[in-house]
Amino acid sequence: MSRQLCQWLALICCAIALAGCETNAAEPDPTQVKLNDMDQRLGRVERVVSNQSLLTLSQRIDVLEAQVRELRGTVEELQNNNEALRKQQRDLYADLDRRLKAAAAPGGGTAPAGLAPAAGPGAPVAAGSGADDQAAYNRAFDALKASDYAGAITQFRDFLRLYPHSTLADNAQYWLGEGFYVTRDYDSAIAAFRTLGEQYPQSRKTPDALLKIGYAQYELKHMADARATLSQVVQRYPGTDAAKLAADRLTKIPPDAP
């Protein structure tokens, strides 16, 4: 009996010990609980921060896309403006080339007003001009035909300073204005063409000079002045080529343009 009792007591003790272990294992570790809670909180914070960063990034992308669209529009506008300027420049050169070829054409039938027929290569010869002023005029005119506009402007200025009473002076004054016009120095062109009208009012180049003043004012966006000048060309010189060109340009000026 004593042995059997001892065995039962041993079994009971083991059972109690096992029960105590099971009870202790089932209870959560406070430290681990706090760590798990901190992990959960940190995860929530990270998700909030991540969402805010994504929102900020998305907003920045929207702003950048809007700026890119604006820049593309600006680039397209600049490209269109450049193309318009290139076309305008080509038209200017073509017009000047036509005038120069007409001025140098033999026979004088198609020469611009105010120019006599050409005598051989170079600029046209005007009756009554001396050998020195004719040679100087030819050199300036040749520079203009060769598209050496800066050289032509300088030489025409020198010509007018040295030979102010030459019979070629009004022509030189006109081509000086053309040199300024084709290089887009419109203010200087206007001044040169006005000088022609003031100093040589009887010149056959006066209608063309007044027309070019209107053209230059148009290019400078001085629309009211351009309208007034071109209207003068139409009224003063009806039936001329200058009047026809002036009337055509007037159709391009809006009636209410300042």
CA 199, chain centre distance (Å): 37
Identify the CA nearest to 188 among candidates 229, 239, 150.
150
Look at residue 257 in the predicted model and tell me its pLDDT. 75
- For residue 85, pLDDT over 80 is answered with no
The answer to whether 111 and 105 have CB atoms below 8 angstroms apart is yes
Backbone dihedral region for residue 111 (phi beyond 0: left; psi -120 to 50: alpha; all else: beta):
beta
Give the Cβ contact number of residue 126 at 10 Å. Answer: 20
Q: What is the pLDDT of residues 237-247, one digit of tens each?
A: 999 999 999 99
Amino acid at 172: A
Summary mean pLDDT of the chain: 78
Identify the CA nearest to 123 among candidates 101, 107, 151.
101
Look at residue 109 in the predicted model and tell me its pLDDT. 34
Q: What is the pLDDT of residues 96-135, one digit of tens each?
A: 766 665 665 544 333 333 333 333 335 443 434 567 899 9
CA 100, chain centre distance (Å): 29
What would you measure as the largest C-alpha separation in the chain, in angstroms? 165
The answer to whether 216 and 225 have CB atoms below 8 angstroms apart is no
Domain 113-250, what architecture? Alpha Horseshoe (1.25)
Q: Comparing 88-102, 170-184, 204-218, which segment has the lowest mean pLDDT? A: 88-102
Q: How far apart are CA 156 and CA 258, in angstroms?
A: 35
Tokens found for residue 94: 């073509």
Task: Tell me what the mean pLDDT of segment 208-235 comes to.
Answer: 96
pTM beyond 0.85, yes or no: no
- For residue 218, pLDDT over 50 is answered with yes
Residues of the chain with pLDDT > 70, as a percent, come to 62
CA 129, chain centre distance (Å): 45
Task: Tell me what the mean pLDDT of segment 183-197 comes to.
Answer: 97
Q: What is the pLDDT of residues 20-73, one digit of tens each?
A: 555 454 567 778 787 888 778 877 877 776 777 777 777 778 777 666 666 666
Task: Give residue limits of the domains in the chain.
Answer: 113-250
pLDDT band for position 10 (50/70/90)? low
Identify the CA nearest to 250 among candidates 210, 218, 212.
218
